[in-house]
C-alpha cells in the first residue's frame, strides 16, 4: 500500500546534526514530520521505528537521537502529491524547520513544531493513528 504518514515526536531541547543540513537547535516540545511511501507504507514505517538503520533521510538523524521519542504515527492511503499537501496544511498552523525533509520538493519544510491541536487537524485531513 502506498501512502502518506506523519511521525509525531517529543524532543528534549538539543542540537542535532542532521546530515547535509548541519546542526539544528531543537527546542523542547512536540514535532511532526511528513513523509510518504509509494512502494510499501508498512515497510517505511517499520524502518522509521528501528533504532539501527543506514542514514538516508533527514528524519533518520532525528530518530536515532536519544533526545527524540517517537510518540505516535499517523497514516493514510494516498498518492505522493498528498505528502506536500499535508506539509502545506501543517505549515498553515505550525512553524516549520527550514529545509527539513523537503530537499526533493518546493516545500519550505516537512518538519514542524506542533502543539496539542495536531491530532484534530490530522484526523480532519483523513489520517488515522497507525497501530503496530
What are 54-72's pLDDT values in tens digits?
888 899 999 999 999 999 9
For the chain, how many structural domains are there in total?
Answer: 1
Short-list 22, 28, 23, CA closest to 113: 28
- Summarised one tens digit per residue, pLDDT across range 69-99 is 999 999 999 988 899 999 999 999 999 999 9
**Full residue range of the structural domain in which residue 61 is found:** 3-129
The answer to whether residue 52 scores a pLDDT higher than 90 is no
11: CB partners within 8 A, 6+ apart: 26, 27, 28, 29, 30, 31, 62, 67, 68, 69
Whole-prediction pTM value? 0.94
Q: Which residues of 35-45 are buried (b: 16+ CB within 10 A; e: fewer)?
A: bbbeeebeebb
Q: Which of 17, 21, 2, 12 is nearest to 110 (CA)?
A: 21
Amino acid at each position: 500500500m502506498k501512502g502518506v504518514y506523519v511521525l509525531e515526536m517529543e524532543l528534549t531541547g538539543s542540537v542535532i546534526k542532521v546530515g547535509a543540513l548541519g546542526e539544528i537547535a531543537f527546542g523542547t516540545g512536540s514535532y511532526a514530520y511528513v513523509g510518504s511511501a509509494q512502494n510499501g507504507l508498512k515497510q517505511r514505517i517499520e524502518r522509521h521505528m528501528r533504532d539501527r538503520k543506514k542514514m538516508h533521510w533527514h528524519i533518520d538523524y532525528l530518530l536515532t537521537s536519544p533526545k527524540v521519542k517517537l510518540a505516535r504515527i499517523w497514516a493514510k492511503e494516498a498518492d505522493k502529491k498528498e505528502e506536500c499537501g499535508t506539509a502545506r496544511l501543517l505549515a498553515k498552523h505550525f512553524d516549520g524547520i527550514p529545509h527539513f525533509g523537503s530537499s526533493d520538493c518546493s516545500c519550505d519544510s516537512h518538519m514542524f513544531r506542533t502543539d496539542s491541536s495536531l491530532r484534530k487537524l490530522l484526523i480532519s485531513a483523513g489520517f488515522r493513528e497507525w497501530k503496530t
